[in-house]
Amino acid sequence: MNRIRINSTEGKSLLILGGKMDDILPLIPVKGLFIITDTNVMKIYGSSFPPGEVFVIEPGEKSKTLQVVEDLCRQMLDAGADRASFVLGIGGGVVCDVAGLVASVYMRGVRHAFVSTTLLSQVDASIGGKTGVNLGDYKNTIGTFRQPEFVLCDHNMLDTLPDEEFRSGMGELLKHGAIRDRNLFFDISAAADRLFARDPLLLGDFIRRAVKIKAEVVRRDPKEKGLRRILNFGHTFGHVIETHYKIPHGMAVAQGMIIAAGLSVWKGEMPHPELRLLEVTLEKTGMLTAYPLPAGVTGMVARDKKSQSGSVNFVLLRSVGKAIVRSISVTELQAFVNYYTGK
């Protein structure tokens, strides 16, 4: 078991990697515990939950709405939750996003933490204090920054993940290497077969390396004013692809990484051989999809939460393992989209 601490100006968070459910018992209250989970997780792990009031939501993006947040807050109120209550989200990225937002707004904020049950949430979604729900087709437009007190990542829970969900998590795992650790990126590629076989020791090592990257970035920039923006690599186009084609988040991010890398080459920031390395690796791991950019993609990106005053803060690469952020005007972005789509 590894413990990593995030101590930032916006709060402290303990990350427990490779732990078990019993490890959190000293960290949660005996009374006043409110658990938010989804139907899939409840069916598999509900019997091992700590004692508390359990609220169950539907799995998937359809639960990332303000209506679901309002319904959960009302259920908590009806169940007697007060400002001393503790919210524990047990699930993947959607549960962590929703539970984190509920905890940050219920009675202006109550304590909260996560038990992360998917690869995507163990390497990314549950860590760093971002909460959020969607506004129509626009991802995570409504949310807050609020650090969970702890995040438990039980790697054995990954054995029950469907292959599609596991592969989605691989997208975020590869992203961490692509932006910050070239060796991690290519180590994942070399060990892809063992990873997809759910080798627990290998998974634990790669998750630890990815989480250390994210934890260090969040420590230095908890509210995404500068450095933390690199964690959005692949997400600007990826979110559009995910929403339009209804494909898993990590798969969309993988395609978004290739498009962002293409933009990096087009802008003269990265040599073309580095783009080929990225493409070959993602092809080898089975992460690449072939979904064309939908019509109107530039307008969708312009309304993304990363846009400011007619420009978009875009994460590009100098090379695999080294990300940079550049402000790109909507006009220039449209020129690239025209180039990329052959218009």
pLDDT of residue 83: 97
Residue 182 lies in a domain: no
Domain harbouring 279, CATH code: 1.20.1090.10
Compute the distance between CA of residue 118 and CA of residue 116 in angstroms, rounded to an integer.
6
Residues 34, 116, single domain; the answer is yes
Residue 298 lies in a domain: yes
Q: Residue 199, SS3?
A: coil
Last residue in a domain, options 161, 189, 205: 161
Residues 149, 7, single domain; the answer is yes
In b/e form, how buried is each residue of 16-31, taking b as 16+ CB within 10 angstroms?
A: bbbbeeebbeeebeee
- 152 burial type by CB count under 10 A (0-12 exposed, 13-18 middle, 19+ buried): buried
Residues 119, 266, single domain; the answer is no
Q: Residue 174, SS3?
A: helix
Residues 8, 152, single domain; the answer is yes
Compute the distance between CA of residue 245 and CA of residue 239 in angstroms, rounded to an integer.
10
Amino acid making up residue 164: E
Residue 240 lies in a domain: yes
Amino acid making up residue 143: G
Residue 211 lies in a domain: no
Compute the distance between CA of residue 161 and CA of residue 49 in angstroms, rounded to an integer.
18
User: Is 278 in contact with 257 (CB distance < 8 Å)?
Assistant: yes
Residue 186 lies in a domain: no
Question: 10 Å Cβ neighbour count for 260?
Answer: 25
Residues 114, 242, single domain; the answer is no
Residues 16, 102, single domain; the answer is yes
Residue 247 lies in a domain: yes
Residue 184 lies in a domain: no
Last residue in a domain, options 161, 178, 194: 161
Residues 155, 9, single domain; the answer is yes
Residue 246 lies in a domain: yes
What is the number of structural domains in the chain? 2
Compute the distance between CA of residue 111 and CA of residue 305 in angstroms, rounded to an integer.
26
pLDDT of residue 290: 81
pLDDT along the chain (343 residues), means of 10: 91 95 96 98 97 97 97 98 98 97 98 98 95 92 96 95 94 96 94 91 95 96 94 95 94 96 97 95 86 89 72 95 95 94 80
Last residue in a domain, options 141, 161, 181: 161
Residues 8, 147, single domain; the answer is yes
Q: Which domain holds residue 269?
A: 224-341
Name the β-bridge partners of 13: 6
Residues 236, 331, single domain; the answer is yes
Q: Residue 336, SS3?
A: helix
Domain harbouring 82, CATH code: 3.40.50.1970
In b/e form, how buried is each residue of 317-342, taking b as 16+ CB within 10 angstroms?
A: bebbbbbbbeebeeebbbebbeebee
